[in-house]
Homo-oligomer: A and B are copies of this chain.
Amino acid sequence: MNPTACLLVIGNEILSGRTQDVNVQYIARRLSETGITLSEVRIIPDIRAVIVRNVTEARAAYDNVFTTGGIGPTHDDITSACVAESFGVPWVHHSETFSLLEAHFAPGEFNAARQRMATMPQGATPIRNAVSVAPGFTMGNVHVMAGVPRIMRAMFEEVLPTLPHGTPVTSQAWHANGLYEGTLAAPLEAIQERYPAIDIGSYPYRLDESQRGVCLLCKGTDTQAVSDAASAVRDLITGLGFAPLPGEPAKS
């Protein structure tokens, strides 16, 4: 059984539609490659009680919790204090991080707001990274990262190698132009039943007005079973009188 993870995306800017999230897909792909199952993503607002409740629920339910957003210097950056509250520990200056930030800023610039970025739950370990001086941090099984994608990625790639990995998920896809889901549903289900450990997804696509089809994706941690299921899928497409094409269809 692979380790599990939950991602908490913290930020009003996603829930209002101002910002198109791109962190979910990045984290999802990297976890999948690492054999950690992303079981759930929650996008929640910058409200203290909501963040605390979700961190508390998620860290009990999953092996790993990642959070993105809310760790800057402004009043709407409350993730760090919320994580402290969830763990029932004080929110305190992290002296090493404090010194690091102090050295970074020009004299007089290291004001109270910036000092806030050196404040962490007691017992947290900073996530240093090459992109931002202000670190994220790990507290227990909770990994607190920035929301800005460039910084999030740098932090995530620092944390990921330190976590227990599972068996990477591999996948094989076949697609066929002109084939509809409704045509293949019954025999596809039979293949799914034959390979219960493989996750077979059926995704209709539409390249343009006239070109449509369906992509069948076999995913799992057992490479041989993935390959066998994919062969069965390919044969199914052929048997229905369509031309199986390897991989995903080219993006429209």
Which residues in A have some Cβ–Cβ distance to B below 8 Å?
9, 12-22, 24-32, 38-46, 50, 72-76, 105, 109, 111-114, 116-117, 148, 150, 169, 171, 181-186, 188-189, 192, 199-204, 206, 217, 219
A22 touches B24 (CB 8 A): no
Contacting pair A16 B42 (CB below 8 A): no
Contact A182 B17, beta carbon cutoff 8 Å:
no
List of B residues within 8 angstroms of A204 by Cβ: 72, 148
Q: List 7 A-B contacts (CB under 8 A).
A: A12-B201, A14-B24, A41-B43, A42-B42, A74-B185, A76-B202, A105-B182
CB distance from A196 to the nearest CB of B (A): 11
Q: Is the interface of A mostly helix, strand, loop or mixed?
A: mixed
Least CB distance, A137 to chain B, in whole angstroms:
18
Q: How far is the CA of A40 from the CA of B30 in the complex (A)?
A: 24
The chain B residue with its CB closest to the CB of A18 is B217
Number of this chain's copies in the complex: 2
**Contact flag A185-B40 (CB < 8 Å), given A13-B201, A16-B32, A204-B148:** no
- Note all chain B residues with C-beta closer than 8 A to A19: 25, 203
Rounded to whole angstroms, the CA-CA distance of A32 and B22 in the bound complex is 20
